[in-house]
Chains A and B, each alone.
Chain A
Amino acid sequence: MFVRQDVWRLSSDEPWHPVLLWYGRAVRRMQERNGTDFSDPTCWQHLAEAHGTAIARGQWPAGALWNECEHGGWFFLPWHRMYLYHFERIARAAVVELGGPSDWALPYWNYSDPSQPEARKLPPAFKAVATPDGEQNPLFVQERDPNINLGSDMNELAVDTSAALAEIRFAGSMVTPSFGGGQSNRAHTGGLPGTLEVVPHGAVHMEVGGGSGWMSAFDTAARDPIFWLHHANLDRLWEAWLLLAGRENPAPAQWLDQRFKLGSGSWVTALTISDMLDTQAQPLDYRYDDVPAELVAEAAGGGPVIPPRGGTMDEQTPPELIGASAGSVPLGHGESSTEIDVRRPMGPLASADEEELLRIYLKLENVVGSRLAAGSYIVRLDLGGGAAASERPETRAGVVSLFGVRESSRADEDHPGSGLSFTLDVTDVAKELMRARGGSLDQIRVTFSPLAGVSPKETQPDVQVGGVKLFVA
């Protein structure tokens, strides 16, 4: 069985650990196969374009399955699991071809590891311009946020896995947040992403890619060798989440029987999701060297370390709208905000016990734009203009990432052009505000502030949130 190892544990012993050395050599070998039209299914660019591409369909090599990535829905995790498996097999074959170990496996980047002070930095082998033998380093790319390549930490909120791991359900709905994403048909973009897909997934993409780097766009992300280690970590977090009490994968055949296909010629991978649920069984045959210690403790019977949230309400009893913004909200270099008048629920939830049953969700709809001032935004709630300053405990509700906003705002045959949408579970924050107001909530203000600016900066950002809505479930 192949074992995927933590890149920072490898790097802290040896910046150019053999696993990374051979990864670099395999990347170079795959890049040498690029040719002019990327028709070799084992070449670097062919594999990257399979995720997303800006190359016009008419110019694709025969049989290419490109622009296939799944975002904004419950196929995000399984599709990327297969994508990693497909890539890893090809990379391993390159390692073996070059005389390397036949048990080579892709490492993962655990940027959330609290025991590793350097975890939020790019691992050294990805920052070095040259390899130890003096050659150009294939793991280094210029097309990143310059600060990341200089050794800056990513923002700690960008790598915070607590909200994702706290989700109790894998699949959500049009409104309900979830770990793995909203139920939908296959879609390049357009649905509701799972909490993990937003943070750390999207946020890390934007922290590494910055304003115009490869990692910050669907169409170019997989060109950066760090992409694969980032997604290996997300795949590992899926495994970790399943260890927590009450968490399980979806059961509907619509999900389990969904088949994905990648590659062409002699390098084709075609699997259903049910083929990929046990990573330690054939055909995948891999495991991770570690899952977060607190999750292992919980799985061993130590009780819930990460309290589940989400309750039992789901798409069968859909949330009710109780407040909406009057219009769109720009996301620029500074803070922006909108106020929401909150109504009491009028449907069956009107009689629900607020303390025990109600979940409160904040939905950010149709975030569109092409010029970004920041990669991610912190979303805060407070009591709005009507409240005295003393009763305005501004509280952080979550982080949203703009990874993919450019592509999903584009109306073409792969994107409906609706942009990104997000739902945050703001129950705890909203209840705190309610307490501050003596038990009722008639108005809240939603504020967006950049997590960090992107570099290079856009002078005239055009990103806006189409609408902000508050739901109760």
Chain B
Amino acid sequence: MMLVSSWTTSRLRMLEWRHPEWWIVVSSVAAWVVLLTIEPHILLARTPAISTGSQSLLGHMASEAALCLAMIVAMMLPLITWHGRFVALSSFWARRQRAIVEFVGGYIAVWMLASLMILAALHALYPLLGEQGTLVIAFGAAAVWQLIPAKRVALSHCHRTASLTARDRGTDIDCVRFGATIGHSCVAACWGLMAAVMSTHALIVMVLLFTVQLWERSHRRPNLRVSAAFITGVGSALLLLGLAGSEVPD
């Protein structure tokens, strides 16, 4: 038993050394699992995310915020594993994990703010346009944004680095600020994709648009007309298959 424990400790220490950013990936996987297990019905159909249903407004907003957080952790954190590693390796040993937490905190805070604004916009559109109209606007905005030069600039900025203070009290602020900076670039690049996902909350859409994000980040100069066409295709398929607007069975 002690041998196993020692082996495990040694392995964990090695993991911590080699991949201090490991928990960013683990958190994302956990968020995907949570989304799938807590709300399995959202695989193909939208949840009543926009209409308040029988919940109190406060309760509804809280559950929406929790869902936003899960979506951000699932879809966005994998995009910053490189940055998490960068932040860890730029910090003294004893501060590595703290630095990643601060960086991720700054990043998520910006994304949460943006997500809540997107959600508010969808809430405003929903009574006017209905579910299908809202979906058309969200997917349309996501596809058009792909074609605008500002998207390319934002995508390029997602790859930036910073010289983080390592040895005085500015360290914590630097890590949070760097997280917020990358978060800002990431929101500027991907707000449209997030809006499209939030207009349906369908897990399959999350997966498809997540692959678009990964593809964009792994290419130096991705052909964003291709991704715009893909997003348009996904939105059109949702409308044609009638997934948008279908009620979720209880």
- B-contacting residues of A (Cβ < 8 Å)? 174-175, 185-188, 190, 316-324, 326-328, 341, 343, 345-348, 365-366, 411-418, 421, 466-467, 469
B92–A346 touching, CB < 8 Å = yes
Give bound CA distance, A346 to B13, whole Å: 13
Among A188, A346, A418, the residue within 8 A (CB) of B161 is A418
Q: How far is the CB of A106 from chain B (nearest CB, A)?
A: 26
Name the segment of B33-41, B66-74, B82-90, B202-210 touching the other chain: B82-90
A-B contact pairs, 9 of them (CB 8 A): A175-B89, A317-B18, A326-B168, A327-B165, A365-B90, A411-B156, A418-B161, A466-B163, A467-B165
Specify which chain B residues have a CB less than 8 angstroms from the CB of A190 in the assembled complex.
159-161
User: What range describes how many residues of B lie at the interface?
Assistant: 20 to 34
Q: How far is the CB of A75 from chain B (nearest CB, A)?
A: 9
What number of residue pairs across chains A and B have CB atoms under 8 A from each other?
A: 92
Greatest chain A CB density within 10 A among B91, B155, B160, B162 is at B160
Q: How far is the CB of B217 from chain A (nearest CB, A)?
A: 8
Interface residues in B159-191 (C-beta closer than 8 Å to A): 159-168
B166–A185 touching, CB < 8 Å = no
B157–A416 touching, CB < 8 Å = yes
A467–B164 touching, CB < 8 Å = yes
Specify which chain A residues have a CB less than 8 angstroms from the CB of B163 in the assembled complex.
328, 365-366, 466-467
Specify which chain A residues have a CB less than 8 angstroms from the CB of B149 in the assembled complex.
413
Specify which chain A residues have a CB less than 8 angstroms from the CB of B22 in the assembled complex.
none
B7 within 8 A of A: no
A416–B17 touching, CB < 8 Å = no
B85–A348 touching, CB < 8 Å = no
Q: How far is the CB of B26 from chain A (nearest CB, A)?
A: 19
Q: How far is the CB of A292 from chain B (nearest CB, A)?
A: 33
A411–B157 touching, CB < 8 Å = yes
Known A186-B220, A190-B159, A418-B160; contact A321-B166, beta-carbon cutoff 8 A: yes
B156–A416 touching, CB < 8 Å = yes
Known A316-B18, A317-B18, A467-B163; contact A174-B85, beta-carbon cutoff 8 A: yes
A414–B156 touching, CB < 8 Å = yes
Specify which chain A residues have a CB less than 8 angstroms from the CB of B157 in the assembled complex.
411, 416-417
Give bound CA distance, A345 to B96, whole Å: 13
Interface residues in B90-106 (C-beta closer than 8 Å to A): 90-94
Give bound CA distance, A343 to B167, whole Å: 11
Give bound CA distance, A416 to B153, whole Å: 8
Specify which chain B residues have a CB less than 8 angstroms from the CB of A324 in the assembled complex.
165-167
